[in-house]
Amino acid sequence: MDNLLKSLKPTNRVVGRFAPSPTGPLHFGTLLAALGSYLLAKCSGGHWFLRIEDLDPPRVIPGSADAMLILLGQLGFEWDGEVAYQSNRYERYQQILEQLRSHGQVFDCSCTRREILASAPHPGEEGPIYPGTCRGGARGSRPECAVRLRVPDKTIQYCDRILGEQQQNLGKEIGDFVLHRVDGLFAYQLAVVVDDIDAGITQVVRGADLLSSTPRQIYLYQCLGVVSPDYFHLPLAFGYNGKKLSKRNGDIGLVTVENGSNMLWRALEFLGQSPPEELFNATPSKLLCWGLENFQVATIPTKNRQVKFK
Ligand code: GLU
């Protein structure tokens, strides 16, 4: 089946994307994903789409999506087509959920967290592994249901274009995972796959914090009968406090119009490229042009690193 799907993979133009969550201002960590995905799509003449992942309303910071888009434009990033918003796509996610249901691939689950914890065989890396209680019909004590994908005892293998061969046994390491949450929100794993399929994405470039989500997403592609994209997981930037540089962990590494060139230069260097010193204060578009002409996947480091901002 995998081979059949691979052979159907279209060999034409690369379609990449950048999919930030609008939970704060643009940050060095997010800039790495923007820059890596942009250069990898554009240096081969591909398309690069933008998608705002505003799936989880309580986490959205009002105005942050617009601010991010304006800043990306000021830094010289040019995206193709209209910006997509996950908040406009709930009907589509529902439709795909129903499609999976009609094939018996999902089930309603009324287990509370406590019930799952009480009977989970052993804790997984991302919380308890679902023990399968509701696979044959909802048997938990909660009145509302979540919807879970039935996961087989199957090892998903793929070759990350930066990190090399990866594998994960979904049944043993993850278990049946949630696609539609009990609070009515759709899960990231479902939305990201449906959005990438609908946009014809062939190349996913993002931070290595999402590496362990990839096998779940590849399995969803298989359930939907669609070839999965190529994956490139970029190293993560850590601050000197040892925490991942992200909008959640403070102001270090915030990107602004004023420090944009500087940040782009550092981002190119962080991604294993060698931008010349004399470009340190060049305009952002000069730096992006340099990146487009000189970008090498082979030199992207595989290890997360600390970065220091003066
Ligand atoms: N929205 C996710 C984030 O900002 C990225 C999702 C993805 O690239 O698949 O971390």
For ligand 1, mutation pick of 206, 212, 216 (most atoms within 8 Å of CB): 206
* Same domain flag for 140 and 68: no
Measured at the CA of 70, the angle between CA 67 and CA 72, to 5 degrees, comes to 105
Structure tokens at 164: 């090399």
Domain count, the chain: 2
46, 102: one domain: no
pTM here is 0.93
Which residues constitute the domain of residue 155? 91-188
Residues 6+ apart with CB under 8 A from 11: none
pLDDT number for residue 128: 87
**CA 303 to ligand 1 center in whole angstroms:** 19
Q: Is the CB of 210 under 6 A from ligand 1?
A: yes
Whether residues 258 and 246 share a domain: the answer is: yes
21 lines ligand 1 (CB under 6 A): yes
CA distance 109 to 99: 18
Q: Is residue 216 part of a domain?
A: no
84 and 95 share one domain: no
pLDDT of residue 121: 64
Average pLDDT of the residues in 282-296: 97
Is 193 contained in some domain? Answer: no
Instruction: Say if 117 falls within a structural domain.
Output: yes
3-state secondary structure of 162: coil
Residue 158 in domain = yes
Residue where a domain terminates, one of 188, 217, 247: 188
SS3 for 169?
strand
Q: State the SS3 of 212-255.
A: HHHHHHHHHHHHCCCCCCEEEEECCEECCCCCECCHHHCCCCEC
- pLDDT for residue 5 is more than 50: no
Q: How confident is the model at residue 123 (pLDDT cuts 50, 70, 90)?
A: low
Question: How far apart, in whole angstroms, are the C-alpha atoms of residue 211 and residue 158?
Answer: 11
SS3 79: coil
| pLDDT, average across residues 170-182 | 95
Q: Which residues pair with 109 in a beta bridge?
A: 146
Q: What percent of the chain has pLDDT over 90?
A: 82
Q: Residue 267 — very low, low, confident or very high, per pLDDT cuts 50/70/90?
A: very high
Query: What mean pLDDT do residues 60-76 have?
Result: 97
> Does residue 180 form part of some domain?
yes
Structure tokens at 181: 């949450």
**What's 86's DSSP letter?**
G
* Whether residues 248 and 269 fall in one domain: yes
Q: Is 192 in the pocket of ligand 1 (CB under 6 A)?
A: yes
At residue 265, does pLDDT exceed 60?
yes
CATH of the domain at 107: 3.40.50.620
217 within a domain of the structure (yes/no)? no
- Does residue 168 lie within any of the structural domains? yes
